[in-house]
Chains A and B, each alone.
Chain A
């Protein structure tokens, strides 16, 4: 019997071709836009988080106890190179890196700003986070007195390539130290904490300036491999019980919140699109049922049980929705592939977007989950959309229909 009901449902679903086509197009286009938006939102948050991890904290960062609360280089990690080597050999670790940082003041002849000097090794950073991706201008070579500077800080201090800047800081014994630096590169990580405040110099040089033993670090950043980050954090804590191991979410709660906010946007867009789809299917199914109310009355009259009509109407809605889903999947996938490789250029909003740590060109990500969730939502919308039409049929008295047609 299912075969006959399904056959009747299929034939009826596409009986009015223009109506069916319009609905399928509406579902398909809505879904393509929805899937594209999901990919863009996820692309935004994923790139934002990924760049922050690459440019700063990795999946897990290790600090000396009290460093994060006191923000003083007195609380530094000794023999960081050795610890990084151990971490790099640890199962589940993709890479690890150490850095030294200090707060201070960056000044030119006319301007000054509170800033943060970060001691890095360019080769290590390249391996850890493809550092050259962040280069906006100049070249990644420190030379004798070279430094790199975050692009926002460079703007604020009116610094260009080749300009000089003085950075003052307190060393580990509390003495004031200053160093004159020449800007060799302008760095744009989209991590606003760095772009707005960071001046990068070589690790060795900063260790010396801060009067710290060589290979002292304020941070060791770890990128996770296939292992789950939480599990890796526990392993690291076991291996380095005297260090404070923090995960990304704890270090950048605001980014986590931004990601959650984008997820909420995603859910709202999803709900709006699916409501439109639901109303579309409901409208078509309602009209379709009203058109055939006589037919349903006769079917009930000759013994076609209401449960078959219910199944038939559901299958009709489902066939239309699935046709829309197939079209939407194809269009959505094409849209996502385009957005993944070409991106969406929003450079007119670049200044506003960089405040949130976003690139001006957003590249979408593609997840099978978009199609799975849309499929589930469309099936649900089909199910919900038949309640009203079925109510109409449920109240139908076959004799009234038969009387009305003589």
Chain B
């Protein structure tokens, strides 16, 4: 489903401060996989996720999503890919503060042009799985960190993207909330068949993933 071919990423290329963040990364991730990218801090986990999510440009190499090379598309097409094929879960939740939980969860679907009724049904379904159905009318600022992260996951999942990219989603959560979130992600992966790609160095996350990709100094050590 996702294929990375000889991907390299440099920061400050040609400058004395040059950093070679990703080194000849070759990876293949199949549909429905539940994968964790792990490695020491600064090894390139987030850079790799951002490259796969076409948020960041790669310096060299190709990234294929199904049969389409996506690394070198124009910015507007990358926006479309992010909107229609990829769900993002960020470490800092990044919900829209002026929208209710229900509106936040349905936000991507609304951008995709779903009807009000379809959005309402799907939002309730996802909120029920993630146990936030009692909070649909609340604003994000009135929720705990764990609840906000569940809303962020619900937003990423609601539109049924091909892949969910989650960058250290448990980093700001306590162990109880981390465990709960992981269980829910696993359930979503099982029920909805969504491909999930985490970056994390949380042992609990690694234990629960079906596949672990180990990065070190920008290179894939094991997958």
Chain A residues proximal to chain B, CB less than 8 Å: 1, 4, 7-8, 11-12, 15, 295, 298-306, 308, 398-399, 402-403, 405-406
Q: For window 38-67 of chain B, which residues contact chain A by CB distance below 8 Å?
A: 46, 50, 55-56
In angstroms, how far is the closest chain A Cβ from the Cβ of B198? 15
Q: Which of A4, A15, A299 contacts B103 (CB 8 A)?
A: A4
Contacts A7-B98, A302-B88, A304-B111 supplied; 18 other A-B pairs, CB < 8 Å? A4-B99, A4-B110, A8-B98, A8-B99, A11-B98, A295-B94, A295-B96, A295-B97, A299-B96, A301-B55, A302-B108, A303-B83, A303-B111, A305-B111, A398-B55, A399-B56, A402-B50, A402-B90
Contacts of B56 in A (CB 8 A): 399
User: Which 4 A-B residue pairings sit nearest by Cβ, starting from the closest?
Assistant: A303-B83, A11-B98, A298-B94, A303-B82
Q: Can you pick out 25 interface pairs between chain A and chain B where the beta carbons lie within 8 Å of each other?
A: A1-B110, A4-B99, A4-B103, A4-B110, A7-B98, A8-B98, A12-B98, A15-B98, A300-B79, A301-B55, A301-B82, A301-B88, A302-B83, A302-B108, A303-B79, A303-B82, A303-B84, A305-B76, A305-B83, A399-B55, A399-B56, A402-B55, A405-B90, A405-B91, A405-B92
Binary contact readout B3-39 vs A (1 if CB under 8 angstroms, 0 otherwise):
0000000000000000000000000000000000000
With a CB–CB cut-off of 8 A, which chain B residues contact A305? Answer: 76, 79, 83, 111
Q: How far is the CA of A182 from the CA of B182 in the complex (A)?
A: 109
Residues of chain A lying within 8 A (CB to CB) of residue B80: 303
How many residues on chain B are close to A (CB under 8 Å)?
26
Decide: A298 near B90, CB < 8 A? Known: A303-B83, A303-B111.
yes
> Among the listed A4, A11, A302, A406, which residue makes an inter-chain contact with B91, where contact means beta carbons less than 8 Å apart?
A406
CA distance A301 to B80 in the complex (A): 10
Known: A295-B97, A301-B82. A1 touches B113 (CB 8 A): yes
Q: What is B's interface to A at a CB cutoff of 8 Å?
A: 46, 50, 55-56, 76, 79-80, 82-84, 88, 90-92, 94, 96-99, 103, 107-108, 110-111, 113, 155
Q: Is the CB of B96 within 8 A of A8?
A: yes
How far apart are A70's CB and chain B's nearest CB, in angstroms? 79
Q: Which residues of B contact A298 (CB under 8 A)?
A: 90, 94
- Nearest Cβ distance between residue B160 and chain A, in whole angstroms? 14
Bound-state CA distance A12–B98 (Å) is 7
How many angstroms between the C-alpha atoms of A306 and B80 in the bound complex? 11
Q: How far is the CB of B117 from chain A (nearest CB, A)?
A: 14
- Residue on B nearest A303 in the bound complex, by CB: B83
Which residues of the partner chain B approach A306 to less than 8 Å between Cβ atoms?
79
Q: How many Å from the CB of A321 to the closest CB on chain B? A: 19
In the complex formed, the residue of B with least CB distance to A306 is B79
Residues of B within 8 A of A299 (CB): 96
B9 to chain A, nearest CB (A): 11
Residue of B nearest to A8 (CB): B98
Q: How far is the CA of A8 from the CA of B106 in the complex (A)?
A: 14
Closest-CB distance, A293 to chain B (whole angstroms): 13
User: CA separation between A302 and B108, bound complex, in Å?
Assistant: 8
Distance in angstroms from A289 CB to nearest chain B CB is 14
In the bound complex, CA of A178 to CA of B12 (Å): 104
**In the complex, A406→B111 CA distance in Å?**
25
When distances are taken between beta carbons in the complex, the residues of chain A under 8 Å from B83 are: 302-305
Shortest CB-to-CB span from B131 to chain A, Å, is 23
Q: Which residues of B contact A7 (CB under 8 A)?
A: 98-99, 103
Query: Which residues of the other chain, B, contact A301 by a CB distance below 8 angstroms?
Result: 55, 82, 88
Are A1 and B82 in contact (CB-based, < 8 A)?
A: no
Complex CA distance for A402 and B96, rounded to whole angstroms: 15
**What residue of chain B has the Cβ atom nearest to residue A302's Cβ?**
B88
Max chain A C-beta neighbours (<10 A), residue from B46, B50, B94 = B94
The answer for the CA separation of A298 and B82 in the assembled complex, in Å, is: 12
Q: CA–CA, A301 to B155, complex, Å?
A: 13
Complex: A295 Cα to B91 Cα, angstroms:
14
Chain A residues, CB < 8 A from B84: 303
B residues within 8 A CB of A8? 96, 98-99
Q: A399-B50, A402-B55 are in contact. Are A1 and B111 (CB under 8 A)?
A: yes
The residue of chain A having its C-beta at the shortest distance from the C-beta of B55 within the complex is: A399
CB distance from B32 to the nearest CB of A (A): 22
| B90 partner residues in chain A, CB cutoff 8 A | 298, 402, 405
Residue of A nearest to B84 (CB): A303
A105 CB to nearest chain B CB (Å): 81
Tell me the complex Cα distance, A1–B103, Å. Answer: 12
| Most B Cβ at <10 Å: residue of A12, A299, A304 | A304
Shortest beta-carbon distance from B218 to chain A in Å: 16
With a cutoff of 8 Å between Cβ atoms, the chain A residues found around residue B46 in the complex are 403
Q: Which residue of A lies closest to B155 (CB)?
A: A302
Cα distance A4–B111 when bound, in Å?
Answer: 9
Bound form: Cα–Cα A299–B82 in Å: 11
Complex partner residue of A302 from B82, B103, B113, CB under 8 angstroms: B82
Instruction: Give the Cβ gap from B215 to chain A, nearest Cβ, in Å.
Output: 17
A303: which of B91, B108, B113 is its contact (CB, 8 Å)?
A: B108
Nearest-Cβ distance from residue A406 to partner chain B, whole angstroms: 6
Nearest Cβ in chain A — how far from B11, in angstroms?
10
Q: Which residue of B lies closest to A300 (CB)?
A: B79
Distance to closest chain A CB from B222 (angstroms): 26
Closest chain-B Cβ to A13's Cβ sits at a distance in Å of: 10
| CB-defined contacts of B82 to chain A, threshold 8 Å | 301-303
Most A Cβ at <10 Å: residue of B76, B92, B98, B103: B98
B33 to chain A, nearest CB (A): 22
Rounded to whole angstroms, the CA-CA distance of A222 and B91 in the bound complex is: 82
